[in-house]
Amino acid sequence: MAPNLSSVLPLDQRPQLVISPVTQESDFYSLQHSKEQAFKDSVLGSRFKKNVPGESPPPYEFKITQRAISHQRSSQFLFPFQYEFQAALASNPSVPIGFAFWSSPVDRTSTDGEWLPEEIKLKESNEKALDSMKTDAEREADKWVNVEFAKMFKQTLYDRRKEYYKGKPHWYLHLLWVDPEFQGQGVSKALFEYGVSRARADGLQVYLESSEAGKPVYERLGFKHVGDIGFPPQAEGEQAIVLPMMVLDPR
């Protein structure tokens, strides 16, 4: 999911940023805190949460700490074509305030877009290893995550992108977020351009799923709207979710 990239501060007033890869030395707690703040009031973010009858939600610190532990561990199992980047203020480079998750091009035309056999083998091995490493505290935190929706959401995005590209190589922006305290200061755009520049160097398209509010912003940046991915309400009072599929041609 990509955010609205419209900026509030003029160029000469935006803070100086440092964009760098996420490493095992990164501040994963700050990353998860910024993610929670970025999505806490979103309709989509609410779908990933679950109430447990008869139990009170865990304290915020506990939830973010366990997510940070999980993120740090899972970052060790990324595929060679997956990249995580973080943004931080140049004045405080050790504390990330934004995050972007990109996939670089893989030619899967031989399988019509399905994972390649060697990728499937590695994916299954990674999932088994990660599950075996989970602590009781992490599993307790997971009780409050709508795992069924999360799996369906991820699979739907994968299926629609596979249907569109048929395995042709492209750059894909999976996810980008910025701590609300620093939104409107050019952080999203810096993380976005960091990946787009590599796609342009490869002469390949960039693909992402936008929010409806972000669609006109991406269109002004040159993206084409090529379809929509819909998620109907699953419970009374929920809103339908529509994610525009956006593609940027290389310049």
How confident is the model over 29-76, as pLDDT tens digits? Answer: 999 999 999 988 888 988 999 989 999 999 999 999 999 999 999 999
Question: Which of 111, 93, 62, 84 lies closest to 175 in space, CA to CA?
Answer: 84
Quick check: is 225 in a domain? Answer: no
196, 176 contact by CB (below 8 A):
no
Residues with Cβ within 8 Å of 247's Cβ and at least 6 positions away in sequence, in order, are 205, 206, 207, 223, 224, 226
Quick check: is 187 in a domain? Answer: yes
pLDDT of 142 higher than 70: yes
pLDDT digits (tens, 9 = 90+) for 110-125: 999 999 999 999 999 9
222, 118 contact by CB (below 8 A):
no
Quick check: is 175 in a domain? Answer: yes
Phi and psi for 48 in degrees, rounded to 5?
A: -85, -5
Give the Cβ contact number of residue 155 at 10 Å.
10
> Residue 12: what pLDDT?
57
> Residue 99: what pLDDT?
95
Range(s) of the domain holding residue 45: 11-202
Residue whose structure tokens are 């700050």: 30
- The Cβ-side half-sphere exposure at 196, using a 13 Å CA radius, reads 19
Quick check: is 44 in a domain? Answer: yes
Coil, helix or strand for 79?
A: coil
pLDDT digits (tens, 9 = 90+) for 171-229: 999 999 999 999 888 898 889 888 899 999 999 999 999 988 889 988 988 999 999 99
Quick check: is 50 in a domain? Answer: yes
pLDDT of 139 higher than 80: yes
Share of residues in the chain with pLDDT > 90 (%): 76
Question: Positive or negative, the Cα torsion across 3, 151, 231, 163?
Answer: positive
Quick check: is 161 in a domain? Answer: yes
SS (H, E, C) 83-145: EEEEEEECCCCCCEEEEEEEECCCCCHHHCCCCCHHHHHHHHHHHHHHHHHCCHHHHHHHCCE
Domain with residue 173: its CATH number is: 3.40.630.30
- Total structural domains in the chain? 1
The one-letter code for the residue type at 163 is E
Quick check: is 235 in a domain? Answer: no
pLDDT digits (tens, 9 = 90+) for 88-104: 999 999 999 999 999 99
Give how far the C-alpha of residue 143 lies from the chain's centroid of Cα atoms, to the nearest Å: 21
Quick check: is 19 in a domain? Answer: yes
Q: How would you class 28 by CB atoms within 10 Å of its CB: exposed for 0-12, middle for 13-18, buried for 19 or more?
A: buried
Cα–Cα distance measured from residue 19 to residue 25, given in angstroms and rounded to the nearest whole number = 15
